[in-house]
Amino acid sequence: MLRKSPTRTEAFLAANRRNALKCTGPRTPQGKARVSLNALKHGQYAHRLPEKLEAAGYRSSVALYAQIRSEIIATFKVEDPVEMKRMERATALVWCMAWRAGVLGSKPQSSLFRVASTPLSLPQSPTRFRIINHWQRIGLVYWVQRRRYWTMKRFWKDLASGAEIPIPSVGEVMEAKLRKRVFRLGRPGFIERMRYRLDREGNFDPGAPPPDFALLHLHEKLFSGRWWGENDKS
């Protein structure tokens, strides 16, 4: 039997208005700033992230963001305004990766960290971020290291016992530390030279022709396996 809707009397509407006054959400500026970060996931579309973190009172997060930003600027010698915008975007992506992995002391946010820490569970994508400048031939990689939990002795002992042993999740064995490494790129290959107009040594060649995207697309189809897959289906 369907429930009959209540009659909207003046007393009923007045009670609704009083209840609505109690559900106003955060009222302080700090609380509003923290609520604005609830929808933050990967940071690709984050705007004014350091200002929001500062307003929310997350001092350790602001310090980590400033550290990542200074490291990227020093590594790639960023000065151009367009490059500064890209640098800010990369900084937000790296910071969100560290935040999802629990580096800032929070609970790991990604669902990949809640699986059991088996010897084959290696979540590479949510814990590693690489930045490359093909013209400067330099790169910078950030990652969150996983503490070594599974050894051969522990693996065979677990396999021989057959009993259920409490196994930590991937998020529980992650280090609370963001690591980084600067690396040099080798000589560019054919596709890299064509795409970025480089010579054999990796230097920018202004006399090189513009990239032929049709040829690049054909090379991608041939060497990624999709060319044979499409022929098999036809």
Structural domain includes residue 12? no
**Residues 49 and 104 placed together within one structural domain of the fold:** yes
Residue 76, SS3 per DSSP: helix
Q: What is d(CA 172, CA 158) in angstroms, rounded to the nearest whole number?
A: 19
Same domain, 105 and 193: no
Domain residue limits at 123: 41-183
pLDDT value at 233 more than 50: no
Are the C-beta atoms of residues 211 and 197 closer than 8 Å to each other? yes
Shared domain check, 158 and 217: no
Same-domain pairing of 64 and 118: yes
Same domain (yes/no): 108, 220: no
> What pLDDT was estimated at residue 230?
43
Is residue 4 situated within a structural domain?
no
pLDDT tens-digit map of 88-105? 999 999 998 888 877 876
Residues 62 and 168 placed together within one structural domain of the fold = yes
Q: What is the mean pLDDT of the chain?
A: 79
Q: Which of 106-110, 125-129, 145-149, 182-186 has the highest mean pLDDT?
A: 182-186
Q: What is the mean pLDDT of residues 197-215?
A: 84
Half-sphere exposure of 109 (CA within 13 A, CB side): 17
Q: Are residues 102 and 121 in the same domain?
A: yes
Residues 213 and 114 in one domain: no
pLDDT over threshold 70, residue 116: no
Residue 218 pLDDT greater than 80, yes or no:
no
The answer to whether residues 53 and 155 belong to one domain is: yes
Q: Based on the structure, what is the number of domains in the chain?
A: 2
pLDDT for residue 123: 42
**Phi then psi for 184, rounded to 5 degrees?**
-100, 140
Residue 153: inside a domain, yes or no? yes
My answer on whether 110 and 62 are in the same domain is yes
How far apart, in Å, are the Cα atoms of 27 and each of 30, 33, 38, 57, 131?
A: 8, 10, 16, 15, 40
Cα separations in angstroms, 178 against 74, 89, 110, 221? 17, 18, 16, 36
**Per-residue confidence band for 70, with pLDDT thresholds at 50, 70 and 90:** very high
How confident is the model at residue 127, as a pLDDT? 77
**Whole-number pLDDT of residue 131:** 92
Domain match, 71 and 174 both: yes
What pTM was estimated for this model as a whole?
A: 0.70
- Mean pLDDT (whole number) for 38-62: 88
Of the pLDDT bands very low, low, confident and very high (cuts 50, 70, 90), residue 227 is very low
